[in-house]
Chains A and B, each alone.
Chain A
Amino acid sequence: MSKFNKKKSGELPPVSTASLPDIVFMLLFFFMTVTVMKDSTLNVENNLPNADQIKKLEKKDRVIYIYAGKPTREYQKQFGTETKIQLNDKFANATDVGDYILEERGKKAQELQNVLTTSLKIDKNSNMGIVQDIKLELRKVNALKVNYTTYEGNAFLNLQ
């Protein structure tokens, strides 16, 4: 018995924290590399609808985004509460969509220009009129591949 007691005589040795910075740095680098900074600030409300038959939008370099929704509160004085389209950081009309698509398409590499997808991020309370206008403009510039971007969830929740 005394054999065992001998070892337990002292207090617990403190855990060495010397490697703590290394662990933290490892985590830090992980998060630094996976972080994607938001590229444009939203000036419109963007409550996307839910859907469950969705496909992922792989390859971010092949996607052009179009936002639409009510202007957020700070812009409501200036632009009213009607649904507006946002391209990059600016409000725009439906007629500007075509030019915007052509401009964005011109910025992409040659081999990607034919495989671009347009991601429509539209607030679920918008009217279809504005969506229809956007779709017509997209068809005019032959940007036919669209993705109605949604959240993953029960689609029936949209009806409430």
Chain B
Amino acid sequence: MARRGGAPEVNAGSMADIAFLLLIFFLVTTTIETDAGLDRMLPPIEPPDSDVVIKEKNIFMVNVNKEGKIFADDQIVSIEDLRERAIAFLDNGGDGTCNYCKGAKNTASSDNPTKAIISLKNDRETKYGVYITVQNEIVGAYNELRNREAQRLYKQDFTDLEAAYLNPETDESLKDELKEKVKTIQDLFPQKFSEAETSKN
């Protein structure tokens, strides 16, 4: 039997075409994205202790009705002004115990940022988009104040500190330091933000 000189070579010229085809498929189907959104904690179902008395001046009532109108402390405000109003309320420092506040020190408004509570109510027919905008503005108010304090103490924005802390790629040793900073700022302006039950009217 005559022996042939090895197996004939397979033509690999079209390999590039096949690879291109696959590449284009994956290019088209890929979505490199991580979801993002507003992080919130819901209140536990049973109130921890219901006999805590909260002074009315320490509560900032935000109510969104079904037409999307926003009432803050029973006055109509436009959505653009809401963040400013929330900042004025949180940063007020009415009883003078808050040495980092720069607010008006109005005695009829909140005593101290650690006591100030923002309460958000909505109607069952409120549009979700409006609700998110209001949430966004209130979170924005907290972030603005926290950024101000973080700039004062650490020359850095709070939002950057927190993002670095939450980023899984950050070094462990750096994380402890960041955790402390984040905690300090959070204690200065704690997010006391209650999402009460929907009003039934």
Contact = CB atoms under 8 A, between A and B. Distances in A.
A128 B198 contact: yes
B45 interface: yes
Nearest to A65: B35
A155 B32 CA distance: 23
Interface stretch (B84-92, B100-108, B131-139): B131-139
A145 B41 CA distance: 5
Contacts of B15: 21
B125 interface: yes
B150 to A, nearest CB: 15
A25 B27 contact: no
B3 interface: no
A150 B16 contact: no
Main SS class of interface, A: mixed
A92 interface: no
B129 A119 contact: no
Interface of A: 17, 20-21, 24-25, 27-28, 31-32, 34-37, 49-59, 63, 117, 119-120, 122-129, 131-132, 135-136, 138-140, 142-150, 152, 155-156, 158-159
Interface of B: 12, 15-16, 19-20, 22-23, 26-27, 29-32, 34-45, 68, 79-80, 122-133, 135-137, 139-140, 143, 162-163, 166-168, 195, 197-198
